[in-house]
Amino acid sequence: MKSFYSFIGGHHGAWQVSQMSALAGEPLPQVAAITMLNQPSSDVQDRGQWLLEGFTSNIRYAERSELSALRAKQQGLGRAGVKCAALIPIQKNPAWWELSQEERRAIFEEQSHHTAIGMDYLPQIARQLHHSRDLGGPFDFITWFEFEPEHTTIFNEMLERLRASKEWSYVAREVDIRLVKN
Amino acid sequence: MKSFYSFIGGHHGAWQVSQMSALAGEPLPQVAAITMLNQPSSDVQDRGQWLLEGFTSNIRYAERSELSALRAKQQGLGRAGVKCAALIPIQKNPAWWELSQEERRAIFEEQSHHTAIGMDYLPQIARQLHHSRDLGGPFDFITWFEFEPEHTTIFNEMLERLRASKEWSYVAREVDIRLVKN
């Protein structure tokens, strides 16, 4: 279960919440801090006010050339100097999940350029994607981003580009939680 | 967690083991019976001698025409008259998981005809695929098959065709457990 992560919203934690906003669908209850643990939720003692759970997995859409480019450019979480993070859980609508693999790929990349947009902000904006839909939680994906404070503007620009894409017309719920390291 | 299934190998259960064989890699300890529960393993009381866990998920490779054909032909588990089942857990090797999405798709379907072969045996051979790799278990996939006794020959033929495919060169471990309804 080492691929499992728990995100606990509560009164205290390693990351202080600076802003929480619901861009689509229901908001999450306001909390003061977030703790991210590399543990399944069943192992978590202090469950805070709410808990989200997801797992990292194999890459679902990237083709070979994209994978190679990503691997050459991306950096991991936990870099020195990184004081800002964002936790963005997303739920897609049933129409998305009714699509076939090549239909999802076409919307994800050929029409929305999801990987290509993310690549424009590497290595400054590090990200880790967690899958949550298979666990029956309220969200399908939980993405954790890390960046230095001076890259907040380009982080916002990246999100604007993604949110203007065709893929985002399938997003039923999205909460954007901004975090500062304690 | 309604997409989670537990497969418990033990002394008693709804399905009696008629044969267990390891086709690749380590065998599983011999058991007399299998119980399949639509529950995550954390909810299972009697855990038997071993327990495998997986979840059903969205379709990962099928294109629109294949999805439509599958949905038109396939039938669910639990049909009347079904007295035979098979539980086949599989682990693929690291080379498989290093592949990109389009490389996996090419091997899975264009070279190995996985979906097309399965379709040749619908609706007689019903199947349900469970994903297990993300849960950190020993297997990546656990497939449950159900069929009437007179279709055992075509079931074996289907497995022979799949096992002769390019895709199976990536299979590091495979255990084939044949079951008869108690």
Q: Distance from A70 to chain B by nearest Cα, in Å?
A: 12
Residues 6+ apart with CB under 8 A from B126: B74, B75, B76, B77, B79, B82, B145, B146, B147
The span from the CA of A56 to the CA of A5, in Å, is 8
Mean pLDDT to the nearest integer, A57-81:
94
Check residue A2 and give its pLDDT: 87
Query: Which positions in chain A touch B103 (Cβ < 8 Å)?
Result: 63-64
pLDDT tops 80 at residue A171 = yes
A100 to B3: CB separation less than 8 angstroms, yes or no: no
Could you say which of B2, B62, B134 has the minimum Cβ distance to residue A55? B134
The span from the CA of B120 to the CA of B154, in Å, is 10
Helices (H) and strands (E) in chain B, counts: 5, 8
Check residue A1 and give its pLDDT: 72
Residue A116's pLDDT band, with cuts at 50, 70 and 90, is very high
Chain A: residue whose CA lies nearest to B60:
A101
A87 within 8 A of A177, measured Cβ to Cβ = yes
ipTM score? 0.90
Type of residue numbered A112: S
Check residue B83 and give its pLDDT: 97
Could you say which of A55, A61, A134 has the minimum Cβ distance to residue B101? A61
Check residue A95 and give its pLDDT: 97
pLDDT in tens, B152-167: 999 999 999 999 999 9
Residue B1's pLDDT band, with cuts at 50, 70 and 90, is confident
Could you say which of B3, B42, B101 has the minimum Cβ distance to residue A62? B101
pLDDT in tens, B40-95: 999 999 999 999 999 999 999 999 999 999 999 999 999 998 999 999 999 999 99
Mean pLDDT to the nearest integer, A72-79:
95
pTM: predicted TM-score of the whole model, two decimal places: 0.94
pLDDT in tens, B105-149: 999 999 999 999 999 999 999 999 999 999 999 999 999 999 999
B177 within 8 A of B19, measured Cβ to Cβ = yes
Query: Which positions in chain B touch A131 (Cβ < 8 Å)?
Result: 134
Q: Distance from B167 to chain A by nearest Cα, in Å?
A: 17
Chain A: residue whose CA lies nearest to B99:
A64
B1 to A135: CB separation less than 8 angstroms, yes or no: yes
The chain-wide mean pLDDT, for chain A, equals: 96
pLDDT tops 80 at residue B172 = yes
How many Cα atoms sit within 13 Å of A99 on the Cβ side?
14
Mean pLDDT to the nearest integer, A123-127:
97
Residue B2's pLDDT band, with cuts at 50, 70 and 90, is confident
A62 to B100: CB separation less than 8 angstroms, yes or no: yes
B136 to A58: CB separation less than 8 angstroms, yes or no: no
Taking alpha carbons only, the member of A75, A78, A57, A149 closest to residue A118 is: A75
